[in-house]
Structure 1
Amino acid sequence: MSEFPFPPGLVLFLGAFLLPQVQGKARTALVLGLPLLALVLIWSLPAGSTITLQFLQYALEPVSATAVGRLFATVFALAAFAGGLYGLWRAEPDGQGGYQLREGNVLELGAAYAYAGSAIGVTFAGDLITLFIFWELMALSSTLVLWSNSNDNPKAYGASMRYLLVHLAGGVILMGGIVWQVYASGSTAFVNMSELDSGAHWLIMAGFLINAGAPPLSAWVADAYPEASPSGMVFLSAFTTKTAVYVLLVGFAGAQVLIYIGLYMVFYGIFYALMENDMRRILAYSIVNQVGFMVTAIGIGSALALNGAAAHAFAHIIYKALMLMSAGSVLALTGQRKCTELGGLFRYMPLTAVFGIIGSLAIAAFPFTSGFVTKSLETSAAAYAGLVPAWFLLLTASAGAILYIGFKFPWFVFFNRDSGLHPPEAPRHMLWAMGFCAFLSIGIGVFPEPLYALLPHQPVDYQAYTIDHLVTQFQLLLFAAAAFFLLLPQMQVTPTISLDFDWFYRKLLKYLAREFSLKTMDARRLLEHRTLQRTEKMAERLYHRYGPQSVFARTWPSGVMVLWVAVLLAGSLVLYYLR
């Protein structure tokens, strides 16, 4: 039992219900203070401390402090703080030193903090039942984050319903695996299951992979996230997929099937991001791409690879939030999100552009950014493990990431042609939040040792800044830059729509259902007619037999009844004498 037995995630989860109840300075203090309080509690829990509860014959551990859990919980709290600060962009001064939020924004922030608290709850869960409870709370609260933008974006409602259906389906699969695992083993402990020697393990892994954006349901990320508000997408990008990375890292480290799944995700994200016209969908596809690196590293399973997956997840949450904040600021101030309708904004939003470029450099693994000192752990792990094909593909994908996000996003949004849009610079809350994330992205890149000290497998015997690594990375950057500008005429985005797997359940299934309904209309009408006829005939027979005029319902005169009694008595006497 720890000295601070209160689960850190509950601070944010319970605090989410207080946000709508307070106003002014108190609400501002809650928005900024709750994540920091959760961060204090996270680091107040000594390593190895647990809280154990008894449920029926099972032992539950709502708190089990581990090194990797603390690492993910820390970055989740930081992301909640940055997202909350950024979420004040729609607030107006209330005249009392605080800020008055719009009703939709209050719902979004409340749901987002419940979402963040649930994600932290997963990182501290020591058993499968607790994990599942927080897992489903994440699904519900994140749906509310997306749904809360329905007034400003009518597409958000449909996207939130599809998002919910995908995650409820994943939850059902996960629940089936957990029930099977508990029944087979008699234990609820959340342990490594990378041997995959039972159907329960496969079901649990499938439930985790759905949240990670793995095939065949990778499309839900780009379908749902871009329809959220500018601040809502910041929250959505931080928790669901990275919580999935955490549980895969703990539960399935070394499962080689994850190498192939991760590599698919890596190139899937690049392919669609290169074709995409919508800047927010570009960033959504890049989430799948980057999570693919982490899943591949988890499949490799060495200490260096697992450290790389954890470090990359930490850095990715921050620099992806930075890029989404930059893109969200553009959307909020211009109302446009397609690259064909943007361009030339650097002159009008210079700080927003600089912060977006810093995020792009980080995702491109530019030296002295967080991406450089974290992603290299994964590629090096593949090389040290002798997985040459995987190493080559990861290196190729790194170059692709430089193309599709390192250059494409900032070029077409902030440079390129003048779109004729002249927006003002982003509001100060947006700039403060972007500055916070930019500071962390550069700080980790320049001083990686504090992050390395938090990684689960110690000591971390790795040096990011070596001559060969720097030369290799600068070669990738230079060749990618040359390729981008040489192929720029061919890479000009066009106002097109990219079809993904979600087309099958959004369009094809709907079309097939409509066609089936039309083709079978006559047969259904005939069946309904015959069923109605038979029902009516049966009702008539029942009425005739049991209705008020039926044989059983008739009333008989007293004399007739006495006659029948006499006949029955006479018959009884005859039978008695004949026996």
Structure 2
Amino acid sequence: MIEGLPPALILFAGALLIGLTRSHLRTAVILVAPLLTLWAVWQVPDGTVATLPFLSYELTPIVGSSLRRLFATVFALMAFTGGLFAFRQARWQELAAASAYAGGAIGCSFAGDLVTLFVYWEIMALFSTLVVLCGGTPGARRAGFRYAVMHLLGGVILMVGIVGVIMQTGTLAVQPLRAVDFATWMVLIGLLVNAAAPPVSAWLADSYPEASPTGSVFLSAFTTKTAVLALILLFPGEPVLIGVGLYMVMYGIIYALLENNVRRILAYSIVNQVGFMVCAIGIGTEMALNGAAAHAFAHIIYKALLLMSAGTVVYRTGKTLCTDVGGLFRTMPLTAACGIVGALAISGFPLTSGFTTKTMISEAAAMEHLGLVYMLLAAASAGVFLHAGIKFPWFVFFQKDSGLRPKDAPWNMGLAMAIFAALCILLGVYPQPLYDLLPYPVTYVPYKGAKVVYYLQLLLFSGLAFFLLLPLMRRTLTISLDWDWLWRVVLARAGAAGYGALGALRTWLEARLRGLRGLLHPPTRSLLAPKDDDDVAESARDGLLARDWAIGAAALWIAVLFIGYMAVYLL
């Protein structure tokens, strides 16, 4: 790596070259740029690598640490495998946006100051919006607009908090904070928007399923996990995050169980799984933070695998609802097998990556004597097995025969799924390489007899409950109301009502002003004489705000209003 060159720039250059190249050269860029980025990530040493002057402060765009390298590594790995999955099916615009999106995530991973973090944060928001819009459908365009609005709002909140923190501390450094005042709360809320914490989590389930079958794979990896990294760096041990995380866990389970759309099930499970990480960050011990980082690493892999499996089904069949598919294992055995591996991993089944990472979080809660938190996380593991471990593969690949006989995944999609499925099993059987990358020393032993038996009992009992309650699990063509109903319906209607009220108020005021003007300037002609159009036009031009103004006078009034605004703001 050239000294001081951010690894993210390689992916940005790759995004540019994707648009400028064609055919096999474009394919080479899509696959080689993430591998070069991965190499550059591991050239970043610990500590500050580069600094830049900014006003009276100093920016540190590259700061290395084991935690930062861990996240940057999995982001680069995701960019490569996602590119392999998508390069033959996705449009070049989507591939270029996804490359820049991944570059923004890696830039956030190494950002040592709040300004650099914010810049890369907004780059992610911009290019992830483009990935959603590349879905190409009217639904994708509407979802992309809502996605952009939500993330721009989150960016504004985050920027307000960053400015406040800089003014209070006098430094731009990314360092642990506590949510004790307005500025730090704004930073925390801005991060939680990207983490998809309720009540602003609906943007995720609203937008990810509307992206293309390949685009949703990229979307699952970067935004929420970058928020997890930022929370680890800025708010480790923040008590409020325990409650927020538990809420996300239960919220994601309930809505995933109610959902009929294949990819929306998995989108809600993202909220659920990020909830485990947020809860661990709130616990804040070394084991809990190790668990949050390890689970984020594993989650990116198995969640991408699940969305690859679902995306292949959507790509081959054109169907997105559980009620429209079934029996696909007959002609899509590779897709079904990889989907099952991902489903077991997300459920924390022994010998998969989810078990070796998720149980670390539960163990950290037990070590801190957080009995209720431990029990809720254990119950949530059973709930995850219900909606993602069983419901997704059962309704998509088994249950009734839908009569569909699509081909299995194209070779590139199949190879990408096989790579991630192998990683899910490898990290479940031999997690030590992952543990060696964690920020704190790991003494945790995942495979203890009592623990394995406990989780097997828990998961198998939830599986039995699923099949006993199968008639209730069958999905119908219904719509689940989410938090977004408040601004899609209530806020929209309130805005329309407010606009109508303002129009009525304006009409009333204009009538009163006309009456007052009539008293001050009584007409010279008879009241019985009709007015022609010229009289009406002349009367309208007599108003103070309706008459023509000279440019100088208009500029004077603008200056007066601006000075008044500044006076109010400064006071």
TM-score, normalisation: structure 2: 0.89
Shift in Å at residue 511 of structure 1?
Answer: 2.5
**Paired residue secondary structure (2:16):** coil
In the alignment, is the contact (CA less than 8 A) between 2:352 and 2:429 conserved in 1?
yes
Supply the AA of the counterpart residue of 2:206.
Answer: D
1:287 corresponding residue in structure 2: 270
**Paired residue secondary structure (2:87):** helix
Task: Give CA deviations for 1:289-337 in whole Å, capped at 9, x if unaligned.
Answer: 0000000000000110000000000000000000000000000111111
Supply the AA of the counterpart residue of 1:183.
Answer: M
Match 1:167 to one of 143, 151, 158: 151
2:378 corresponding residue in structure 1: 395
In 1, the alpha carbon distance for the partners of 2:38 and 2:95 equals: 18
In the alignment, is the contact (CA less than 8 A) between 1:64 and 1:125 conserved in 2?
yes
Task: Give CA deviations for 1:136-164 in whole Å, capped at 9, x if unaligned.
Answer: 111001001111222xx210001001001
1:423 corresponds to 2:406: yes
Shift in Å at residue 49 of structure 1?
Answer: 4.3
Supply the AA of the counterpart residue of 1:370.
Answer: S
In 1, the alpha carbon distance for the partners of 2:222 and 2:5 equals: 21
Match 2:433 to one of 430, 443, 450: 450
2:563 corresponding residue in structure 1: none
In 1, the alpha carbon distance for the partners of 2:511 and 2:125 equals: 44
1:15 corresponding residue in structure 2: 14
Shift in Å at residue 489 of structure 1?
Answer: 1.2
1:562 corresponding residue in structure 2: none
Match 1:106 to one of 92, 97, 101: 92
In the alignment, is the contact (CA less than 8 A) between 2:193 and 2:200 conserved in 1?
yes
**Paired residue secondary structure (2:47):** coil
Match 2:103 to one of 106, 117, 120: 117
Supply the AA of the counterpart residue of 2:201.
Answer: S
2:120 corresponding residue in structure 1: 134
1:537 corresponding residue in structure 2: 539
1:476 corresponds to 2:458: yes
In 2, the alpha carbon distance for the partners of 1:536 and 1:186 equals: 60
Shift in Å at residue 526 of structure 1?
Answer: 5.0
Shift in Å at residue 519 of structure 1?
Answer: 6.0
Shift in Å at residue 513 of structure 1?
Answer: 2.8
**Paired residue secondary structure (2:294):** helix
1:224 corresponding residue in structure 2: 207
In 2, the alpha carbon distance for the partners of 1:115 and 1:378 equals: 29
Shift in Å at residue 472 of structure 1?
Answer: 1.0
**Paired residue secondary structure (1:4):** coil
**Paired residue secondary structure (2:45):** coil
**Paired residue secondary structure (2:163):** helix
TM-score, normalisation: structure 1: 0.88
In 1, the alpha carbon distance for the partners of 2:63 and 2:255 equals: 39
**Paired residue secondary structure (1:229):** coil
Shift in Å at residue 522 of structure 1?
Answer: 4.9
Shift in Å at residue 4 of structure 1?
Answer: 3.4
Question: Residue 346 and residue 46 in structure 1: after superposition, are their counterparts in 2 closer, same or farther (change >3 A)?
Answer: same
5 Å matches for 1:344-363?
344-363=327-346
5 Å matches for 1:452-467?
452-458=435-441, 460-467=442-449
Task: Give CA deviations for 1:151-186 in whole Å, capped at 9, x if unaligned.
Answer: xx2100010010011111110010001101111111
2:390 corresponding residue in structure 1: 407
Match 2:471 to one of 484, 489, 509: 489
1:275 corresponds to 2:261: no
In the alignment, is the contact (CA less than 8 A) between 2:48 and 2:60 conserved in 1?
no
Match 2:192 to one of 166, 188, 209: 209
In 1, the alpha carbon distance for the partners of 2:310 and 2:233 equals: 33
1:176 corresponds to 2:178: no
In the alignment, is the contact (CA less than 8 A) between 1:4 and 1:41 conserved in 2?
no
In 2, the alpha carbon distance for the partners of 1:332 and 1:305 equals: 39
In 2, the alpha carbon distance for the partners of 1:532 and 1:138 equals: 53
Supply the AA of the counterpart residue of 1:362.
Answer: A
Match 1:505 to one of 457, 463, 487: 487
**Paired residue secondary structure (1:54):** strand
Shift in Å at residue 342 of structure 1?
Answer: 0.9
1:314 corresponds to 2:305: no
Supply the AA of the counterpart residue of 2:7.
Answer: P
Supply the AA of the counterpart residue of 1:469.
Answer: K
Supply the AA of the counterpart residue of 1:157.
Answer: R
Shift in Å at residue 368 of structure 1?
Answer: 1.1
In the alignment, is the contact (CA less than 8 A) between 2:49 and 2:63 conserved in 1?
yes
In 1, the alpha carbon distance for the partners of 2:470 and 2:133 equals: 37
Supply the AA of the counterpart residue of 1:86.
Answer: F
In 1, the alpha carbon distance for the partners of 2:543 and 2:372 equals: 77
Q: 6-15 vs 298-307, which deviates more?
A: 6-15
Q: Percent identity?
A: 55
In 1, the alpha carbon distance for the partners of 2:452 and 2:208 equals: 34
1:556 corresponding residue in structure 2: none
In 1, the alpha carbon distance for the partners of 2:513 and 2:105 equals: 52
In the alignment, is the contact (CA less than 8 A) between 2:45 and 2:65 conserved in 1?
no
2:233 corresponding residue in structure 1: 250
In 2, the alpha carbon distance for the partners of 1:378 and 1:493 equals: 32
In the alignment, is the contact (CA less than 8 A) between 1:77 and 1:116 conserved in 2?
yes
In 1, the alpha carbon distance for the partners of 2:8 and 2:198 equals: 30
Structure number with larger C-alpha Rg: 1
**Paired residue secondary structure (1:62):** strand
Shift in Å at residue 508 of structure 1?
Answer: 2.0
1:42 corresponding residue in structure 2: 41
Question: Residue 540 and residue 112 in structure 1: after superposition, are their counterparts in 2 closer, same or farther (change >3 A)?
Answer: same
In 2, the alpha carbon distance for the partners of 1:356 and 1:144 equals: 27
2:142 corresponding residue in structure 1: 158
Supply the AA of the counterpart residue of 2:167.
Answer: Y
2:246 corresponding residue in structure 1: 263
2:565 corresponding residue in structure 1: none
2:532 corresponding residue in structure 1: none
2:75 corresponding residue in structure 1: 76
**Equivalences, count:** 527
5 Å matches for 1:320-335?
320-335=303-318
Shift in Å at residue 500 of structure 1?
Answer: 0.2
What is the CA RMSD across the aligned residues, in angstroms? Answer: 1.9
